[in-house]
């Protein structure tokens, strides 16, 4: 039997990736965190495509896209992102990347560059992909679509604790500001904006634990 294709979209820090990872393990699916791909391109740009003031030079980035080779490798169940064969899994979580990723992700050139590889990965089925435009643009025919949301204060708390656990210094107000700013850019951009697909199941997990959110998703997958 062909394994399903599952799309999980939603706001920043609603737990999309960590929840998708657990569901993937449980159902024997591949998990692709598409946000990590946009973060990988942003890290590349910060290293290689900046102007004198240190900000990203988009024209330079567009002409360098073909030099970017992003690959996930499996390390004991953990997917590690490599950029041109170098592990960048820690670098892509830094504040520097978080502050610049939405600008990079709103560019058509960047989205086109990442689109086909995401679709290719889903061709054989058996995948759960999380992001912002998976149910609407990348995989409009996914069998199951979920859209996760939660209050800004709850999401701030989660991201703040995540950063601390990664050993990254953080200021809670700054984290909140970054989330609001990113959601605004992601929702208002012209190409593939963050939007709930018409046929997505919405889950507000402000007052749900990670386990309860996973159970809510699984209940839909297993009852259909
Ligand atoms: O899920 P995340 O916070 O790691 O995503 C980082 C950024 O990448 C987010 O601000 C929006 C962008 N993104 C996107 O535009 N489309 C996706 N499918 C996934 C992420």
Structure tokens at 49: 């495509």
Biggest CA–CA distance in the chain, Å, is 56
Of 6, 101, 158, which is best to mutate to test ligand 1, by the most ligand atoms within 8 angstroms of its C-beta? Answer: 101
Q: Are 196 and 122 in contact (CB under 8 A)?
A: no
pLDDT (tens digit per residue) in 25-67: 999 999 999 999 999 999 999 999 999 999 999 999 999 999 9
Q: What is the CATH number of domain 5-218?
A: 3.40.50.300
d(CA 114, CA 105) in angstroms, rounded, equals 10
Q: How far is Cα of residue 40 from the mean position of the Cα atoms in its chain?
A: 11
Please report which confidence band the pLDDT of residue 213 belongs to, taking 50, 70 and 90 as the band edges. very high
Measured in Å, residue 33 CA sits from the centre of ligand 1 at 9
Find tokens 């950063």 and name the residue: 163
**Averaged pLDDT for residues 141-164:** 96
Q: How far is the CA of 65 from the centre of ligand 1 (A)?
A: 18
Q: What's the pLDDT tens digit per position in 158-207?
A: 999 988 998 988 999 999 999 999 999 999 999 999 999 999 999 999 99
- Candidate from 31, 132, 133 with most ligand 1 atoms within 8 A of CB, to mutate: 132
Q: In this predicted structure, what is the pLDDT of residue 166?
A: 86
Q: Where are the domains of the chain?
A: 5-218
pLDDT above 80 (res 75): no
Q: How far apart are CA 213 and CA 33, in angstroms?
A: 18
Our answer on whether the CB atom of 111 is closer than 6 Å to any ligand 1 atom is no
Q: Is 10 in the pocket of ligand 1 (CB under 6 A)?
A: no
Q: Tell me if 101 CB under 6 Å of ligand 1.
A: yes
Nearest CA, atom 15, ligand 1? 105
CA 87 centroid distance within chain? 18
User: Is the distance from the beta carbon of residue 158 to the nearest atom of ligand 1 less than 6 Å?
Assistant: no
Instruction: Select from 34, 110, 118, 149 the residue to mutate for testing ligand 1; criterion: most ligand atoms less than 8 Å from CB.
Output: 34
Per the DSSP assignment, residues forming a β-bridge with 204 are: 149
Give the integer Cα–Cα distance in Å for 16 and 7.
Answer: 10
Mean pLDDT for all residues in the chain? 94
10 Å Cβ neighbour count for 103? 17
Q: Is the pLDDT of residue 100 over 80?
A: yes
The residue whose two tokens read 């799309």 is 7
Question: Rounded to an integer, what distance in angstroms lies between the CA atom of residue 87 and that of residue 82?
Answer: 4
Q: How far apart are CA 63 and CA 65, in angstroms?
A: 6
Mutate to test the pocket of ligand 1, among 14, 35, 147 (most ligand atoms within 8 A of CB): 35
**DSSP assignment string, 59-93:** HHHHHHGGG--EEEEEETTEEEEEETTEE-TTGGG
Query: Which residue has better confidence, 77 or 150?
Result: 150
Ligand 1 close to Cβ of residue 186 (< 6 A): yes
């Amino acid at each position: 039997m062909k394994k399903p294709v599952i799309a999980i979209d939603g706001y920043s820090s609603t737990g999309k990736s960590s929840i998708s990872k657990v569901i993937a393990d449980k159902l024997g699916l591949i998990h692709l965190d598409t946000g990590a791909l946009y973060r990988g391109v942003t890290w590349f740009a910060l290293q290689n495509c900046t102007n004198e003031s240190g900000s990203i030079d988009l024209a330079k980035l567009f002409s360098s896209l073909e030099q970017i080779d992003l690959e996930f490798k499996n390390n004991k169940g953990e997917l590690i992102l490599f950029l041109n064969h170098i592990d960048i899994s820690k670098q892509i979580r830094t504040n520097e990347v978080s502050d610049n990723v939405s600008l990079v992700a709103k560019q058509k050139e960047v989205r086109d560059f990442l689109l086909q590889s995401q679709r290719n990965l889903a061709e054989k089925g058996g995948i759960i992909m999380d992001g912002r435009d998976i149910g609407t643009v990348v995989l409009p025919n996914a069998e199951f679509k979920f859209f996760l949301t939660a209050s800004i204060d709850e999401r701030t708390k989660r991201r703040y604790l995540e950063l601390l656990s990664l050993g990254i210094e953080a200021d809670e107000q700054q984290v909140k500001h970054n989330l609001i700013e990113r959601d605004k850019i992601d929702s208002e951009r012209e190409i593939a904006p963050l939007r709930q697909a018409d046929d997505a199941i919405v889950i507000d997990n402000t007052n749900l634990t990670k386990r309860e959110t996973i159970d809510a998703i699984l209940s839909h997958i297993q009852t259909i």
